């Protein structure tokens, strides 16, 4: 007899039979479902409420971003990357700009670097707030969602004041920044740091010691550090499994080496640890922002970059620590104004692979919790 | 003609419920009153839940339809009535059609024995509480058939969860109820009662709410019931059958329009029903606070002012909001409407201050106020707690509530019989 755990949901031998005849139930979760965070389709194979296996079907939001890149100049492609992980558009922009800068062998001036770090870390907090709100909502706590969205608004206001857009910001340019920080930018950021610290405590007050929250998250969706590495899982999910890997420290980019911050790790690799890791990360991001805003140097914000960019023939891989994990850009240049190939390594796409492993032998309700804790954005999964 | 008038007016002299007095005209009137009152209560609950939840969640809630969204429930009801009535092609049409009616019937029928006052109940049964528990547990039948007849996966899982949940929590609930019923027999004659009115009167005679009786046994029993009743009505944090994030809408996923609104109506009236059981059994039903300690005409007057004061407070809130409405021509009608609503509330308050009315509504007021407290708790839970997982829910029911309930039952029996047990001991020693 075949081990049911090795079967794919598609292997159910009597698909014509209805659920009334079969002991096993095959359920389509999504693509239209309140808890799949967009248009993810999960085919669940259930025995009662127990998950025997699942398969993710993706591609409902595929827009061919990588192919578009081949028909746009390097500058023209820049806004497109914002549309991948649309809740962390600034991070996407940072990764792309730095990758092209590496290809062109230019470096953004220090002032631009500092403003980039501030905006990127603000975006990390915004992304984590959105994750927390939706994750808690999936588990049934509806109130944190509104608290986090209220506070995320303050970050979006700073983005709006800086570059005019709230979500798909297109904040950075290859070689630096287009806009100088507006008057009072530093004051706004300082004010925000002061404002959001007690708010993070407020979220924790609602959840961290809540008995139901503990029961719903402890020991749910456990993944070991070894499995994480084998599957290529990165970001808070990897760190919660006890692997201290953060690209900001491991392969410092931008000017992260100038800042003093810690990388939180968990031990158990369960949903609760991932929650705690992200909560600490938000606080650490605030620490980085506070240091950066104190140390913004004066100077230019744009390096010398040719108007028409023709990088030398070659290829480059550059990755950054996006809120969701390692976001990498692999760009091949054939010496023309357009990239020959752009390949994006999206953290959500890779992390989503762990879903099956994390949900085996758990209950349906845990699938929801695990999708939430993986913090996927379908725009990035499907690109 | 004269006989009919005689028949109708004869009830007014009796001090029984219309059902117990056997007066069908008055019983019908009471049924209509309870039905209308319940529907109004559900509409109010709908609006209040949205508003209270919204304010807990730093938002405003409905603000568009009518001043402060006061007409929103009516707009929603209209929308639901006008929606296309869909029966899925694969569904079992007859069963699909019947299911919501079973749920609604079960939810409304229990109100036959709910005592809003010593005479303000449709009827008084000597098995009142048993009737309530029995009929309210029929609702699960409707939920299961709804899930089954939909012939779809999510409703099926929702229905199965719901039946398992309701059946297992009913056990703990029953144990808590039995403990309260045992307390009714702690009088000189040692005669207990299952009648809802009798239970409240027992609390009056024993000079304490059963919540505080045999401290802490009463509180524990009440706690068990308070947890089980949330699970019984499928509300957060036990709202697994309709867990929105998991099962989209649970057993009523395939329902829409009027049929869906029947489920909605049933859910809210079931909430009111179980709350009234809790109020009757542990919180003294229609009794005002301190009916035995604070007696005399002065205290009677003070407590009888409460209904009027409540409506006066609501009217004052309305007037305050009227003053704060935006001074824009677009809001003129809304402002006038709100002021008018305030005037209506103030008029009700005035009527309630009037002597005869003041005395008559006492029982109903205190009963409703206590039930309203429970309704607020329901909303508060929903705003605060995450949702339990199915196995954890079962664990709480069978491994925590059930043993506690059993121990409670035995302890209540021992404490209730302590004099007899002591005398038996003395007999044995001698």
- DSSP letter assigned to residue B387: P
- Is B382 touching A (CB cutoff 8 A)? yes
Q: What is the pLDDT of residue B246?
A: 66
Is omega for the bond preceding A267 within 30 degrees of 0, making it cis? no
A24 versus B179: the higher-pLDDT residue is B179
Facing B57 at nearest CB: one of A140, A143, A207: A143
Bridge partners, residue A327, by sequence: A320
Res. A14: pLDDT tops 90: no
Euclidean distance between CA atoms A128 and A131, whole angstroms: 5
B155 interaction partners in chain A (CB closer than 8 Å): none
Confidence of residue A4 (pLDDT cuts 50, 70, 90): very low
Q: What is the pLDDT of residue A11?
A: 52
Averaged over B72-95, what is the pLDDT?
Answer: 86
- Is B95 touching A (CB cutoff 8 A)? no
Confidence of residue B181 (pLDDT cuts 50, 70, 90): confident
End-to-end CA distance of chain A: 40
Nearest residue on chain B to A205, judged by CA atoms? Answer: B384
For chain A, domains (ranges, CATH) are 4-57 (no CATH), 65-382 (1.10.645.10)
Among the listed ranges A158-167, B95-104, B357-366, which one has the minimum average pLDDT value?
A: B357-366
B153 interaction partners in chain A (CB closer than 8 Å): 19, 25, 27-28
Res. B12: pLDDT tops 80: no
Instruction: Provide the percentage of residues in chain B whose pLDDT is more than 90.
Output: 11
3-state secondary structure A48-76: CCEEEEEEEECCCCCCCHHHHHCCCCHHH
Angle at A246 between CA A241 and CA A250, to 5 degrees: 130
How distant, in Å, are the alpha carbons of A126, A184, A290, A293, A294 from that of A187? 19, 5, 11, 9, 10
ipTM exceeding the 0.85 mark: no
Query: Where do the domains of chain B lie?
Result: 26-75, 83-287+392-429, 304-353
Helix (H) or strand (E) holding A344: strand A339-345
Nearest residue on chain B to A220, judged by CA atoms? Answer: B389
Facing A146 at nearest CB: one of B57, B243, B388: B57
Q: How many angstroms separate the CA of residue A186 from the nearest CA in chain B? A: 28
Nearest residue on chain B to A25, judged by CA atoms? Answer: B153
Q: What is the pLDDT of residue A48?
A: 73
Euclidean distance between CA atoms A18 and A301, whole angstroms: 64
Confidence of residue B353 (pLDDT cuts 50, 70, 90): confident
Cβ-in-10-Å burial (0-12, 13-18, 19+) of B298 comes to exposed
Confidence of residue A8 (pLDDT cuts 50, 70, 90): low
Tokens 């909303």 belong to residue: B379
Percent of residues in chain B assigned helix, strand, coil, to nearest 5:
75, 0, 25
Res. B336: pLDDT tops 70: yes
B388 interaction partners in chain A (CB closer than 8 Å): 140, 212, 215-216
Nearest residue on chain B to A208, judged by CA atoms? Answer: B386
Cβ–Cβ < 8 Å for A182, A161: yes
Cβ–Cβ < 8 Å for A348, A376: yes
pTM of the model: 0.84
Cβ–Cβ < 8 Å for A192, A154: yes
Q: What is the pLDDT of residue A18?
A: 46
List the one residue out of A362, A325, A183, A305 whose CA is nearest residue A248: A325
Q: Both tokens of residue A146?
A: 């509104």
Euclidean distance between CA atoms B401 and B257, whole angstroms: 37
Euclidean distance between CA atoms A158 and A165, whole angstroms: 10
Res. A159: pLDDT tops 70: yes
Res. A65: pLDDT tops 70: yes
Contact check, Cβ <8 Å, B386/A365: no
Q: What is the pLDDT of residue A20?
A: 47
Kindly report the average pLDDT of chain B as a whole number.
85
pLDDT digits (tens, 9 = 90+) for B412-428: 888 888 878 888 888 88
Contact check, Cβ <8 Å, A140/B383: no
List the one residue out of A115, A120, A285 whose CA is nearest residue A197: A285
Q: What is the pLDDT of residue A330?
A: 92
List the one residue out of A144, A142, A42 whose CA is nearest residue A367: A42
Q: What is the pLDDT of residue B244?
A: 62
Q: What is the pLDDT of residue B406?
A: 92
Q: Both tokens of residue B388?
A: 């339990």
Averaged over B219-243, what is the pLDDT?
Answer: 84
Q: What is the pLDDT of residue B196?
A: 85
Contact check, Cβ <8 Å, B244/A34: yes
C-alpha torsion angle, residues B83, B89, B92, B93 (rounded to 10): 40
Q: Both tokens of residue B346?
A: 């103030």
């Amino acid at each position: 007899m075949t081990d049911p755990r090795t079967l794919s949901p598609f292997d159910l031998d009597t698909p014509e039979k209805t659920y009334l005849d079969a002991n096993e139930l095959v359920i389509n979760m999504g693509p239209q479902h309140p808890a799949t965070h967009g248009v993810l389709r999960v085919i669940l194979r259930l025995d009662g409420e127990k998950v025997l296996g699942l398969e993710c079907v993706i591609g409902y939001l595929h827009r061919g971003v990588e192919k578009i890149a081949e028909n746009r100049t390097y500058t023209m492609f820049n806004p497109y990357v914002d549309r991948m992980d649309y809740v962390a558009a600034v991070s996407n922009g940072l990764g792309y700009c730095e990758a092209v800068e590496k290809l062109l062998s230019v470096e953004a001036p220090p002032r631009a670097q500092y403003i980039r770090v501030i905006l990127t870390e603000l975006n990390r907090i915004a992304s984590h707030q959105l994750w927390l709100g939706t994750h808690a909502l999936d588990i049934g706590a509806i109130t944190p969602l509104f608290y986090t969205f209220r506070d995320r608004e303050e970050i979006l206001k700073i983005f709006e004041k800086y570059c005019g857009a709230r979500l798909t910001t297109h904040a950075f340019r290859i070689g630096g920044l287009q806009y100088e920080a507006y008057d009072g930018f530093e004051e706004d950021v300082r004010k925000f740091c002061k404002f959001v610290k007690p708010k993070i405590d407020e979220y924790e007050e609602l959840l961290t010691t809540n008995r139901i929250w503990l029961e719903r998250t402890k020991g749910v969706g456990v993944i070991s550090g070894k499995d994480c590495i084998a599957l290529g899982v990165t970001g808070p999910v990897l760190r919660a499994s006890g692997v201290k890997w953060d690209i900001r420290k491991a392969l410092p980019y931008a000017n992260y080496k100038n800042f003093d911050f810690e990388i939180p790790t968990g031990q158990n690799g369960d949903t609760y640890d991932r929650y705690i890791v992200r909560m600490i990360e938000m606080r650490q991001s605030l620490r980085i922002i506070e240091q950066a805003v104190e140390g913004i140097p004066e100077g230019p914000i744009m390096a010398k970059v040719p108007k028409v960019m023709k990088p030398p023939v070659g290829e480059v891989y550059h990755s950054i620590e996006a809120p969701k994990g390692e976001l990498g850009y692999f760009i091949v240049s054939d010496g023309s104004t357009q990239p020959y190939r752009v390949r994006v390594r999206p953290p959500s796409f890779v992390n989503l692979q762990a879903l099956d492993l994390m949900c085996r032998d758990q209950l349906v309700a845990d699938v929801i919790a695990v999708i939430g804790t993986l913090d996927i954005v379908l725009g990035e999964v499907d690109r | 003609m004269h006989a009919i008038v005689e028949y109708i007016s004869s009830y007014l002299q009796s001090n029984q419920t219309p059902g117990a007095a056997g007066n069908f005209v008055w019983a019908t009137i009471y049924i209509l009153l309870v039905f209308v009152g319940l529907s109004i209560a559900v509409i109010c609950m709908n609006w209040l839940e949205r508003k209270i939840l919204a304010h807990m969640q730093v938002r405003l809630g409905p603000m568009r339809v009518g001043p402060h969204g006061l007409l929103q429930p009516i707009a929603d009801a209209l929308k639901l009535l006008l929606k296309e009535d869909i029966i899925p092609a694969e569904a079992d049409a007859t069963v699909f059609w019947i299911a919501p009616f079973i749920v609604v019937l079960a939810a409304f029928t229990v109100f036959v024995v709910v005592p809003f006052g010593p005479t303000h109940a449709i009827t008084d049964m000597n098995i009142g509480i048993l009737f309530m528990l029995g009929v309210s547990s029929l609702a699960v039948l409707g939920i299961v058939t709804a899930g089954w007849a939909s012939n779809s996966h999510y409703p099926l899982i929702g229905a199965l969860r719901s039946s398992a949940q309701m059946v297992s929590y009913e056990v703990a609930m029953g144990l808590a109820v039995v403990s309260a019923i045992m307390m009714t027999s702690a009088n000189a004659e040692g005669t207990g009662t299952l009648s809802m009115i009798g239970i409240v009167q027992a609390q009056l005679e024993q000079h304490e709410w059963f919540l505080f009786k045999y401290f802490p046994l009463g509180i524990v029993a009440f706690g068990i019931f308070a947890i089980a009743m949330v699970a019984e009505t499928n509300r957060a944090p036990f709202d697994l059958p309709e867990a929105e994030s998991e099962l989209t809408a649970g057993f009523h996923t395939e329902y829409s329009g009027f049929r869906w609104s029947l489920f909605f109506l049933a859910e809210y009236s079931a909430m009111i029903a179980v709350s009234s059981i809790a109020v009757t059994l542990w919180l003294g039903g229609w009794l005002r606070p301190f009916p035995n300690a604070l007696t005399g005409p002065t205290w009677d007057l003070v407590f009888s002012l409460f209904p009027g004061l409540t409506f006066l407070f609501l009217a004052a809130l309305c007037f305050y909001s009227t003053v704060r409405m935006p001074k824009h021509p677009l809001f003129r009608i809304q402002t006038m409407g709100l002021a008018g609503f305030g005037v209506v509330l103030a008029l009700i308050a005035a009527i309630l201050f009037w002597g005869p009315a003041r005395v008559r509504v006492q029982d109903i007021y205190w009963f409703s106020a206590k039930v309203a407290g429970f309704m607020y708790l329901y909303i508060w839970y929903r705003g605060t707690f995450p949702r339990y997982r199915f196995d954890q829910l079962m664990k709480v029911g069978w491994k925590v509530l059930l043993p506690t309930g059993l121990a409670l039952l035995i302890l209540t029996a021992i404490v209730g019989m302590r004099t007899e047990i002591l005398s038996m001991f003395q007999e044995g020693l001698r």
